[in-house]
Amino acid sequence: MKRPSEEDIISRIDAFPNIPSAAAKILSLLDDPDTSAEQIGEILRYDPGLTANLLKLTNSSYFGLPSKVGSVNQALVLLGWKKLAQLILSACTTAVMAKPVPGYDLQPGELWRHSIAVSVVAEGLSRELGVTGVDEIFTAALLHDVGKLVLGDFIRDNTSSIDDESLREVSFEKVEQRLFGIDHAEIGARILSNWSFPETIITAVRWHHDPDAADPPNNLIDVVHIANVLCLMIGIGIGREGLQYTPSEAATRRLGLKGEQLEIVAAQAMGWVEELSESFSVHFEEEF
């Protein structure tokens, strides 16, 4: 099988589906703290399915709001604009992340479950660590592996070469770099860049396997990195990537993360995943 050229891969990134127009409009308002309920309502008005999904997500037992939210206005008051915007983006990208992932040995829905798990673990770690100013953490974690949806096709077509690689000795993204000259983290960053996502989220996706290479490293990248490794360690979404992941020691030090904090979050992760995943309306395609 002929290995794809860099142009083949880049043209596939550029052909990746756009996010729904509602998400694009939300992104354009993201930095405006004065965004009103009317503006959000106007965007969501043309997408009743999205509004329903957003309210279902907002009412998830995971978020534990004191009362049921019945309108966008109420959600804005209870959550604040930054959090609500992240939930809208999450609801918008559900359909993309629920797609089958050929090449990575992930069952239908497994990448979705892994993505949800990394999101709740990343939020849990932020709470444990008292890390602030990371509103985007949920969205960044939810989308950290979006690049697999592009690279998966190429991996499926090159499995014979991959099986020859010494997978036990190197991490899977190193195998991707060796075979294709690019890894799923970089591809994910380029997809989000095409979608005009904020640079903070793009950077977290780009460096989620190599947080020490970020210039400069930051809490958002470090937390998404640790959350991803923790989810792989507890067995959520392993697939072809295998078990050769350990958290970056430098990231652990930068965050001041202690072993018992990891244990506290790991112990609760499954419960959070269950609470949250039932609130997303996800349809998994069976066909690869």
**Choice between 93 and 228, CB closer to Fe ion:** 228
- Residue 112 near residue 97, CB atoms below 8 Å: yes
**Choice between 55 and 141, CB closer to Fe ion:** 141
| Region near Fe ion per CB under 5 A, out of 62-70, 196-204, 222-230, 248-256 | 222-230
**What minimum distance in Å lies between the beta carbon of 177 and Fe ion?**
13
**Choice between 126 and 228, CB closer to Fe ion:** 228
| Region near Fe ion per CB under 5 A, out of 175-183, 199-207, 226-234, 257-265 | 226-234
Which of 53, 94, 119, 228: binder of Fe ion (CB under 5 A)?
Answer: 228
Cβ neighbourhood burial of 1 (10 Å; 0-12, 13-18, 19+): exposed
**What minimum distance in Å lies between the beta carbon of 241 and Fe ion?**
7
| Region near Fe ion per CB under 5 A, out of 36-44, 96-104, 227-235, 249-257 | 227-235
**What minimum distance in Å lies between the beta carbon of 145 and Fe ion?**
4
**Choice between 58 and 228, CB closer to Fe ion:** 228
- Residue 116 near residue 277, CB atoms below 8 Å: yes
Query: Does position 119 bind Fe ion by CB under 5 A?
Result: no
Count of residues near Fe ion by CB under 5 A: 2
| Region near Fe ion per CB under 5 A, out of 1-9, 128-136, 221-229, 266-274 | 221-229
**Choice between 72 and 114, CB closer to Fe ion:** 114
Q: The tokens of 93 are what?
A: 């990208």
Which of 123, 145, 186, 222: binder of Fe ion (CB under 5 A)?
Answer: 145
**Choice between 55 and 227, CB closer to Fe ion:** 227
**Choice between 43 and 189, CB closer to Fe ion:** 189
Q: How many residues does the chain have?
A: 288
**What minimum distance in Å lies between the beta carbon of 172 and Fe ion?**
8
The site for Fe ion (CB under 5 A) is made up of 145, 228
